[in-house]
Structure 1
């Protein structure tokens, strides 16, 4: 899990749950989340949220469209929100490629169901890949949050085009009264950019690296994730 920081209060307001697996090279992101059994992901989500319920305001979980439409995963998400209350589970809709195709008209009712059960919806990686305005505009009325990822841009963050994209998405977030989290902040330059745009909600190595969360049955020597 990685902390999300509100610099106005200098406090952690949420955690994003990050799935990693142990390899000979250490803890690494799976080559494809589609290779991870949904039953395992569902169990991990329920076990993790049971621990985090009273720690923060929000706990975020990344979900692609295929996972979003899976009955077992949906039940795990609903159970997790019950465990987290009064904190909220934030479902981050990612653009990760799925083995199946789901139209927006199928996805929207599922997102609405989550909102009706007290959860929030986040639109991940806006402004990059397939997540342009036209692609996600039908989801905007349901979303409470958007995330703009600096790490998705290979050129430096001082590039005028990146800053113009950030300006546009910042304006969209205000139009829809949504939180905007600037993620992938790894240096003081990224923090300064956030200051310049007046974005207080931030995530990245500059503010906190991901940490392992020890679950029941895990070895006692679990340590913080360092790679």
Structure 2
């Protein structure tokens, strides 16, 4: 190494060292929600720092750490910072998601067991920690990295693959690492309520996740339409600005989300509403335009006699078999037929 290169390396190390101070680096948390439970189930830890002339983003900081063989040192610093700062806020049924760079195993200073040691001084359990592996990170040594993940799993930690569907070697990474969660990249989520091609891709990933026993998380959800369509597709785990931006302390789920989701869930399971004025012809017109599933869906019969839940397939079959009564209200006939 030339004298100039030595000086540059020393300068880079000094810059990196200056950032590994609590005054320079801090953590914000991005909520991950489960809309079946209307609750925040976890927080992704995101490294942040004040505006800087040296780095435009934390990604550049981690790239420098990798180049100067100090990646593990930086990951240890940010991971401890994330765990320590969220400990007063993390509930027992919530998880902390932290980044794990695959090539950290090649860092000369790498030794397993650091995270477990940090947790011993907190009330956070290993099964509350999810190591998030970005799909943008090319893994040069699957065998070594897989052994590392096996070590973490033996201690109770979980594993997620981030940015699934964004490119690179997703399928190989999924098959080799067998993650507990697949986080679908926002490129497949944006406008999913309008683009069938994206719906097909997410459906395929849902099928893969089901076969592997991995949970599916939709990233980058930003609109009500995207959220509601994902619910209709059976995706309940989501993350995105629609639910809250990264912040500290960890942000709760906004109240308006719960009300919207409850209404959407009702529309999902009860797509047909029948009142005392609904006629046979109106029901048949509804059937002709309905594009959803009939399996495990119901009609809500809300009439003066009370509310009744009826199997959607049975109601449609009944209406079709009595089409001659087109302008008559259907509810008295349904009432006598089902009783």
> How does the TM-score come out when normalised to structure 2?
0.55
Pick the structure with more helix per residue: 2
Cα distance change, pair 179–23 in 1 and its aligned pair in 2 (3 A): same
Alignment of 1:1-227 (within 5 A): 1-23=29-51, 29-32=57-60, 33-36=62-65, 38=71, 39-53=73-87, 55-56=90-91, 57-70=94-107, 71-72=109-110, 74-82=112-120, 83=122, 84-85=124-125, 87-97=127-137, 102-140=140-178, 143-150=179-186, 152-153=187-188, 156-157=191-192, 158-212=194-248
Does the Cα contact within 8 Å between 2:35 and 2:237 map onto a contact in 1? yes
For residues 121-144 of structure 1, give each alpha carbon's deviation from its aligned partner in whole angstroms, at most 9, with x where no partner exists: 11111222114323431212xx21
For residues 59-117 of structure 1, give each alpha carbon's deviation from its aligned partner in whole angstroms, at most 9, with x where no partner exists: 1111221225545474433334544216521011113447xx63211111011000001
Cα distance change, pair 155–5 in 1 and its aligned pair in 2 (3 A): closer
Does the Cα contact within 8 Å between 1:78 and 1:114 map onto a contact in 2? no
For residues 30-65 of structure 1, give each alpha carbon's deviation from its aligned partner in whole angstroms, at most 9, with x where no partner exists: 242222453233122113213434614211111221
Distance of 1:69 and 1:212 partners within structure 2: 32
Does the Cα contact within 8 Å between 2:159 and 2:180 map onto a contact in 1? yes
Structure 1: gaps (5+ residues)? 215-227
Distance of 2:81 and 2:215 partners within structure 1: 27
Distance of 2:144 and 2:110 partners within structure 1: 17
Distance of 1:18 and 1:72 partners within structure 2: 22
For residues 148-197 of structure 1, give each alpha carbon's deviation from its aligned partner in whole angstroms, at most 9, with x where no partner exists: 022x3597433222211100111111112221111110111220221121
Q: What secondary structure, in the 3-state scheme, does the structure 2 residue paired with 1:124 have?
A: strand
Q: Which has the higher contact order (CA 8 A, sep 6+)?
A: 1
Does the Cα contact within 8 Å between 1:93 and 1:124 map onto a contact in 2? yes
Q: Which moved more, 1:164-173 or 1:125-134?
A: 125-134
Does the Cα contact within 8 Å between 2:135 and 2:166 map onto a contact in 1? no
Distance of 2:220 and 2:56 partners within structure 1: 17
> How does the TM-score come out when normalised to structure 1?
0.79
Find the structure with the greater CA-based Rg: 2
Structure 2: gaps (5+ residues)? 1-28, 251-339
